[in-house]
Structure 1
């Protein structure tokens, strides 16, 4: 692509009619130039050059020039025919989005903000005109043309978004999102020509309304109809003009400088619009899509935000998700800490550690019953439940069923710690392997797949540990007395606590008080067993991701 003084030109060569075609967006003059060279130098294709100036031209004229390129081959060269004009227009449409994207990236570093504002106006209008021209073509287009159409949607959205940030007061946008202001005005003309004249006019209220509505429309067309539509395969082909689908989704969804979604205010304003059906629909789609990408953190953020929107409790500074491998590991460490401490110092303060471990068991039970009675039965709020990936929890519960009431498993739990640790480590690594295989098959990238599989593994292990702590605390006394009693007769759990050798270090195999006993050895082993069985069953008998919503 040759460069002039500050201008980039798009040149296309047709060999049969011996024609060189040149397209130029002259940003300094705000003109779109169509030129040809049939051996005598470049000359204008049309008598008048289109410019983005309301007092001189209308976008309909640019549309007609594109239409003439397709329908009047004699404009190109004396030897050109209709096939040549179709080929030229197809190649122009294929190359134009990349040309404009490169130009925008270069000018963003070279031009002042006011000049860049005019460039974004022109590109938004030009991309909409070309997209409309593509939509009205009367013959079937190939995948390349469809790709160009999606690329034009991205350009329209990004250009309008830049104009929205520059020309519309942020307080007005926030009032629209909260439902305090309605941007719909029946008299507004939101066509390409209407936007053209609105932007060039002096009515700031009309500009505010038009940019908010059109940017919102472009946002949904790009995010929902392009990024979240995996059937288009636009992000997976080798020569795609886009980055990875997940990168493009996050770029559209997150509106913070670092592109990190942490709080509600980091979301795009169009995902914070109260009482808006399109907003709620897209948020639900995003939650499901992130779950299918095994991205629990962003899925959880969408789930909690959807619930807040539905209940009218959107708080800008609210943290949307705390899901991460680090937090899972910290939660596991917190649950295991009393038992680890007891393994070191139980003989020095047995009463203290009995209280500590019994208190943890009561705390876990209280949390579960609080969720069931308050969050579910009273508030009807299942966002926390859905954000925990319930298919993993369901698999773990299914995994507990065949092992919890089997005498041989309880007998195995009484083996020495090194054997239990070795078996548990083996089960854990195999479970991680199964998870990684599933995730990598869908995501492809090994590093990303391993990171996502590791997060799922830690989340599942946390759920298995918590479930085991509660289940064994409620009914483990019966199974322990039945299987761990030294003679033919069952021995009360309190007596077993004195008779059995320690699990590891000074940690007893039974710790706590009457009716509030924890069984650390059983929890340790059964957590890995249940998670392994649940994952194995899920992956082999379900042809859907383990994170698929219920």
Structure 2
């Protein structure tokens, strides 16, 4: 240990009926666990011999036996103690020990007083204590209820934290890389991963055995914490006022991210247990994470899980690949790209009509090619629906449903022929109503107004982007027939070119019909129909569906 020794934290429990104070101490400097009682004459050890982590003197089973003796032999506390006294004390000890050990470990990490070897030793001892406490609690009456259940969950988190710290310091980088690739040797039948076996394996110092044993135990602790606690929303462990945890989402992010900042961008930012190609547990948990993030309206992280799982299934190394492009700024950039020719055309269309017609026609062609590429190449040829799932298909499905009642309605096309001021007012009302609907739904599930606003904004921008792209495609396909019927003079011989010249501009110099034969776009119609379809789809989703709008199909 570097510098002066750190003072010891202790867990003290007062027993009022017996007028004594019970003390539990993890003396990391001496590598001991002490049970002491003060009956008015100072603290004295409860047991003749103090349990230590020295393999030549003690075994982890002794710590378990000491816990059992405390529960079953009340006279160890005081001559007048009853069985009920010892049982209550053990329940309080099980309740407080994980939080106490977590506090000791965090303090040592923050103070930085211990060298790497010393901190690795503490990690191993805390991991061992957490595992023994979990095994003892599993047989204790009432361990599946209330505070004791939360304490059990906290012990699982503590075991994972300690084993991850131990893995970082004791497992060789070469073995960890081979583990991620799936080529590392697994645990052998002769390996003993019980508490006693783990205790002696670390003491032996055999690199190969230490590598595979620590990684296997850390993997087991990871799944027990993430899969068994964090993703199980029925346990209520994170919602109670006295919960020892952060909110559920923060705990999930801490569990799956390598760095404490919980920044997730590329494959290397995920913990090793979620980077194993072909591993069934890994793929199963990634699937659960995807669905969980979507139910939390977290499109970006859900898309990361989708893409990462696809990379793993194809044995593609995504350590340096961006896992998702889902960001509000990217949606805005795409919307600006779609709208740019029309916005510029509102000010400069008359300067070069052929150029703007060609640009708008090319934009429609590009959108059509993207759809054809996805349908025929990615889906029919590659059988790859990753892009489809990452696009949150419930949103475009709702938008398509929203287009159905308006696309072939003459009154809606007549509405699209009104002035841009009127259409802008309608669009603002529809957009505000849609956003409010989304915000109310998200806030009702997240109970965090700031986070709900961010998630609702992201869903809103994604929906507007998808509605705009779908609107351009649909109007480009059959819009000419509706336009000639609703905007034309009724002359069967009237052409699109003639109608284009007869109509008043939509806004500024921008015509209501832009493009070249056969690729025409109708900016006024797309402008109003995109917001109308998104509004209708969102309204129907929220009124008649119990699932979130981001729920997987």
The normalised TM-score by structure 2 is 0.97
CA distance in 1, matches of 2:173, 2:291: 30
CA distance in 1, matches of 2:260, 2:319: 16
CA distance in 2, matches of 1:59, 1:222: 23
Question: Are 1:515 and 2:549 an aligned pair?
Answer: no
CA contact (8 A) 1:290 1:299 kept: yes
CA distance in 2, matches of 1:141, 1:421: 58
Deviations, residues 329-359 of structure 1 (Å, cap 9, x unaligned): 1111111111111111110011111110000
Task: Give the deviation of 1:432 after TM superposition.
Answer: 0.2
Question: Are 1:367 and 2:391 an aligned pair?
Answer: no
1:265 aligns with 268
2:342 aligns with 339
1:67 aligns with 68
SS of the equivalent of 1:347 reads: helix
1:412 aligns with 415
Say which is worse superposed, 147-156 or 166-175, in terms of deviation: 166-175
1:188 aligns with 191
CA distance in 1, matches of 2:472, 2:185: 52
CA contact (8 A) 2:130 2:159 kept: yes
CA contact (8 A) 1:481 1:490 kept: no
SS of the equivalent of 1:116 reads: helix
Question: Are 1:384 and 2:359 an aligned pair?
Answer: no
CA contact (8 A) 1:291 1:547 kept: yes
Deviations, residues 274-321 of structure 1 (Å, cap 9, x unaligned): 121110100000000000000000000000111111121232111100
CA, structure 1 residues 156+382, in 2 after alignment: closer, same or farther (shift >3 Å)? Answer: same
2:502 aligns with 499
User: Where does 1:32-431 land on structure 2 (aligned, <5 Å)?
Assistant: 32-108=33-109, 109=111, 110-138=113-141, 141-256=144-259, 258-431=261-434
Task: Give the deviation of 1:258 after TM superposition.
Answer: 3.3
Task: Give the deviation of 1:95 after TM superposition.
Answer: 0.9
Task: Give the deviation of 1:490 after TM superposition.
Answer: 6.6
Task: Give the deviation of 1:182 after TM superposition.
Answer: 2.6
Task: Give the deviation of 1:489 after TM superposition.
Answer: 4.5
CA contact (8 A) 2:295 2:551 kept: yes
2:468 aligns with 465
SS of the equivalent of 1:259 reads: coil
SS of the equivalent of 2:165 reads: helix
Task: Give the deviation of 1:486 after TM superposition.
Answer: 2.6
Deviations, residues 398-418 of structure 1 (Å, cap 9, x unaligned): 000000000000000000000
CA contact (8 A) 1:58 1:193 kept: yes
CA, structure 1 residues 169+100, in 2 after alignment: closer, same or farther (shift >3 Å)? Answer: same
CA contact (8 A) 1:300 1:323 kept: yes
CA RMSD of superposed structures (Å): 1.2
CA, structure 1 residues 42+205, in 2 after alignment: closer, same or farther (shift >3 Å)? Answer: same
Which residues of structure 2 form unaligned runs of 5+?
A: none
2:20 aligns with 19
CA distance in 2, matches of 1:315, 1:5: 43
SS of the equivalent of 1:32 reads: strand
Task: Give the deviation of 1:139 after TM superposition.
Answer: 5.2
CA contact (8 A) 1:183 1:212 kept: no
CA contact (8 A) 1:482 1:490 kept: no
Task: Give the deviation of 1:261 after TM superposition.
Answer: 0.7
Which residues of structure 1 form unaligned runs of 5+?
A: none
2:9 aligns with 8
CA contact (8 A) 1:428 1:528 kept: yes
CA contact (8 A) 1:329 1:458 kept: yes
CA distance in 2, matches of 1:141, 1:13: 24
